[in-house]
Structure 1
Amino acid sequence: MIIHPVEIIFHNGRVRITASVSCQAQGISWPEQLWYELPRELEDRLSLRADGFLVALLLQAMSLGEDIHVEGAVSGRLLRNLEIYQSVFSSWFPAALRPVGFIPRDIIAPPAIVGPPAVAAAFSGGVDSTLTLLDHSGLAETDAAYRITHVLFVHGFDIPLAAPEIYDAWAGRFRASLLPLGVELIEVQTNVRQFVDRLPWIWTHGSALGSVALMLEAMLTRFYIPASSPYSDLEPWGSHPITDPLMSTETMEIHHDGCLPRVDKILRIADWPGSKSGLRVCWEHPDSSRNCCRCHNCVMTMIGLELAGTLSHSTTFPESLDYQRVSELIIPIGEIQECESTIARAVNLNRGDLASPLGAALRRSRREARIGRAARHLKQMREGLWRRLFRSSGNS
């Protein structure tokens, strides 16, 4: 794989940082250019280094088994970190990912920060990113070196590039809610998903977020990636407290932030006016003004808001909580402990009406998981028996 020289061009009144990408594998269909588009006033604060492009494409190169030739400058610290990054991901997904080599044109430290230093966070309007925003904005963060000054809202991740009206509507809503916090919204567009969608997005979203931040490494000293899971439920995932900091360079630290149970996060953010008017958690059915109120993510969020007593005031959840739908939820194995935490919180708040249907969903999900494990075990035993019979028949 070759990452060709990074260029900055102007496009539709904005500034676009772009690089051509080529690979040796046959049958790969992706755009000629990988690009990131930002407000034009940030032109002098963009990085012409290849750090972000390397991070964005690393897992893809590992899946193809191709070394990465970089026709540009790369951070020495980042290169060392990415050796460990590869070791982690190849141990998590050994059948799909294997370590590759890096051949950069130059290995040098990033330049000094241009202009006032800034601290940013990834922001989607969801529970995780809202907690990170509130914990590290002027409301709570006392250390200026860690205080968020900007948030990056990315178009092209969960909101498709083909749906600008949805993105623009949410961006306008977020900008209004951020104003009292003194935090600036940076609108970013990118086609990075078209380069990594051969792999599951749950593997690649962390490196995609890191790549966006690295486009601004001439501006940022810190970047927060909000956590998806609490420490009790950590599993191999694209964004993880082990791997996210490994995308740091000499001048910018990347932090994985907020590994708390989801219900605790919701209770902490529920009273913020921005949560009542702009909480966006539905990625299955993107809409410009509301959450669907029916998918797993919506229902679990609505349960937390109901426990906080703010669901009826949350304008992006126009439907009431359907308790029958709660009882029919399928709780993934990785969310069992989070579900238990939510049930315990409901019991402590004397909300047996919520604890009961959620408990029914948890019991059924556990039962189905046991049946699934037993079926897989039986299948493996049968396959092993047939292999032994085949070998004993003299066919091996």
Structure 2
Amino acid sequence: MSGAAPQKKEIRISDVTLSKHPDYQELSATLDGEHVWFRFPLDIDIKARPEIFIPFCIFEAMLQGCPIVVDPEYPVSEKILAHFEEIQNIYCSWNSDLSKVQLVASTEKTSNTSDDVYCCYSGGIDSTYTYAKYRDQITHLILIKGFDNFRDEDGWQQNIRNRQEFADKEGKKLVPVDNNGRAFLENRWIPFIPVHGAILCCTAVTLGAERLYIPSTFPYNAMFPWGSHPLLDILWSTESTQIIHDGLEATRSQKTEYVAQSQELLDQLQVCWRSSGSNCGNCPKCVRTSVALDVLGKHSANLPAFKTHADINYLKPTSEGTLPFTEDLIYFAHRHNAVDLEKALKKLRRNYIVKNALTNLVKAITGGWGWKLHRMFNKKGAWERYRTGHRPLKSNLQ
């Protein structure tokens, strides 16, 4: 007689190894029986530490209700271990599917000898804004594969070339980091977004950074459960690496206005959702940026102009995560007396609110059977196949 799959006894991190290769150095480990690796440039001083692998184990362990065990020969930052319960408190407050688990590891206090200041830098509006603020302080730009279309190898290589050209002009050191971590999560149907901030933080620990700036995605007035969050990111700081979640004071349109003061920063923008190596001009992220630049009377050499390449309907909100961007552009259009744009955006917002309200009403009236019927006759999206996320998979209305 078959039954439920047996619960795991532990999620183990072992075989933490730093190896040299002709074109890169690789930090790898065995995670729950699978090989996960990160590849760094040869001229960067890497710490063979286990912290970078912990974020990939968190949701698996919290779903299974079993501890994460790090082999004792690979000590974890004493400060991170002390904060691990609070990190889980935040996740559990967002998602009742999860339960708190232990992180079993030996510990040590980290110590760095470098004064390197890193900024996560993809060339998007958020990262360019943070870079512009701390241009004189930042010494290194870090670019990590997996925060875009991670299967687009050509786009990834083009992004490296573009960011390298910019870094050379600015006199900064670019640190591109390849890895198979996102594939590891996708194979287990665990989403990448809830832990992407932790991955950034722990990469900085591996690099021995004195400080890491993580550009915010949302401003203070639009915060909600998200993998890079001001409550979470700072908890991954160590004794010698300070994590700073930056940019919460500004909305996306305000960041765009700030960046638009520098044409050289505008011309290197890489905002596209579809490609990490170029800007298509008609995905939501491209259009959000190009329409704001159009209102400002600005242009980017790397981004097709809004009026010749895009449609305002690309900006229709589709979720809680995209609604704040639409609302921000409404206020932006109002401030700049862009009456037609404001009117069109308000219509898109109104349609989303009405559709969302009707969907919730149907769920409430029909109960669970209505939702099941809907899913029977509609193709299941990739996000629906995930085993968990920022919030429980099942709403109280279902």
By the TM > 0.5 criterion, same fold? yes
- The answer to whether structure 1 residue 20 and structure 2 residue 30 are counterparts is yes
CA–CA distance in 1 between the matches of 2:165 and 2:55?
Answer: 32
CA contact under 8 A between 1:119 and 1:149: conserved in structure 2?
yes
Matched residue of 1:186: which SS?
strand
Name 1:137's counterpart in structure 2. 135
CA–CA distance in 2 between the matches of 1:251 and 1:150?
Answer: 17
CA contact under 8 A between 1:3 and 1:68: conserved in structure 2?
yes
Name 2:107's counterpart in structure 1. 107
Name 1:386's counterpart in structure 2. none
- The answer to whether structure 1 residue 79 and structure 2 residue 81 are counterparts is yes
Name 1:51's counterpart in structure 2. 51
**Residues 173-188 of structure 1 aligned to structure 2 (within 5 Å):** 173-188=162-177
**Residues 220-299 of structure 1 aligned to structure 2 (within 5 Å):** 220-259=209-248, 260-283=250-273, 285-286=274-275, 288=277, 290-299=278-287
1:321 to 1:354, Cα distance in 2 relative to 1, 3 A: farther
Name 2:12's counterpart in structure 1. 2
RMSD: 2.3
CA–CA distance in 1 between the matches of 2:302 and 2:147?
Answer: 24
CA contact under 8 A between 1:224 and 1:257: conserved in structure 2?
yes
CA contact under 8 A between 1:267 and 1:307: conserved in structure 2?
no
CA–CA distance in 2 between the matches of 1:266 and 1:332?
Answer: 22
* Superposition deviation, residue 338 in structure 1: 4.2
Deviations 1:81-101 (A, max 9, x none): 111001110121111x22111
* Superposition deviation, residue 153 in structure 1: 0.6
Which residue of 327, 338, 354 maps to 2:341? 354
Tell me, which stretches of 5 or more residues in structure 1 are unaligned? 24-31, 139-146, 384-396
What amino acid sits opposite 1:281 in the alignment?
V
CA contact under 8 A between 1:303 and 1:321: conserved in structure 2?
no
CA–CA distance in 1 between the matches of 2:95 and 2:306?
Answer: 40
Aligned residues with identical type, % of pairs: 27
CA contact under 8 A between 2:211 and 2:242: conserved in structure 1?
yes
1:274 to 1:12, Cα distance in 2 relative to 1, 3 A: farther
Matched residue of 1:88: which SS?
helix
CA–CA distance in 1 between the matches of 2:322 and 2:183?
Answer: 29
Name 1:143's counterpart in structure 2. none
CA contact under 8 A between 1:233 and 1:334: conserved in structure 2?
no
Which residue of 171, 182, 185 maps to 1:193? 182
Matched residue of 2:218: which SS?
coil
* Superposition deviation, residue 51 in structure 1: 1.8
Tell me, which stretches of 5 or more residues in structure 2 are unaligned? 1-10, 371-398
CA–CA distance in 1 between the matches of 2:100 and 2:123?
Answer: 35
CA–CA distance in 1 between the matches of 2:221 and 2:315?
Answer: 24
Name 2:386's counterpart in structure 1. none
* Superposition deviation, residue 202 in structure 1: 2.2
Name 2:383's counterpart in structure 1. none
Which residue of 275, 291, 296 maps to 1:303? 291
Runs ≥4 residues deviating over 6 A:
none
**Residues 111-190 of structure 1 aligned to structure 2 (within 5 Å):** 112-114=111-113, 116-138=114-136, 147-160=137-150, 162-190=151-179
Deviations 1:61-100 (A, max 9, x none): 22332211101101111001111001110121111x2211
What amino acid sits opposite 1:103 in the alignment?
V
* Superposition deviation, residue 320 in structure 1: 3.4
CA contact under 8 A between 1:210 and 1:247: conserved in structure 2?
yes
Scaled by the length of structure 2, what TM-score is found?
0.83
Scaled by the length of structure 1, what TM-score is found?
0.83
CA contact under 8 A between 2:148 and 2:276: conserved in structure 1?
no
CA–CA distance in 1 between the matches of 2:164 and 2:309?
Answer: 31
CA contact under 8 A between 1:156 and 1:193: conserved in structure 2?
yes
CA contact under 8 A between 1:36 and 1:188: conserved in structure 2?
yes
Name 1:374's counterpart in structure 2. 361
What amino acid sits opposite 2:259 in the alignment?
I
CA–CA distance in 1 between the matches of 2:166 and 2:32?
Answer: 41
CA contact under 8 A between 1:232 and 1:337: conserved in structure 2?
no
* Superposition deviation, residue 322 in structure 1: 6.0
1:328 to 1:69, Cα distance in 2 relative to 1, 3 A: closer
CA–CA distance in 1 between the matches of 2:31 and 2:193?
Answer: 23
- The answer to whether structure 1 residue 202 and structure 2 residue 199 are counterparts is no
Question: When the two structures are aligned, how many residues end up with a matched partner?
Answer: 355
1:335 to 1:194, Cα distance in 2 relative to 1, 3 A: closer
CA contact under 8 A between 2:145 and 2:179: conserved in structure 1?
yes
CA–CA distance in 2 between the matches of 1:319 and 1:348?
Answer: 19
Deviations 1:341-391 (A, max 9, x none): 3222212222213212112211211221221222222223988xxxxxxxx
Which residue of 14, 37, 40 maps to 2:39? 37
Which residue of 90, 93, 114 maps to 1:91? 93
Name 2:328's counterpart in structure 1. 341
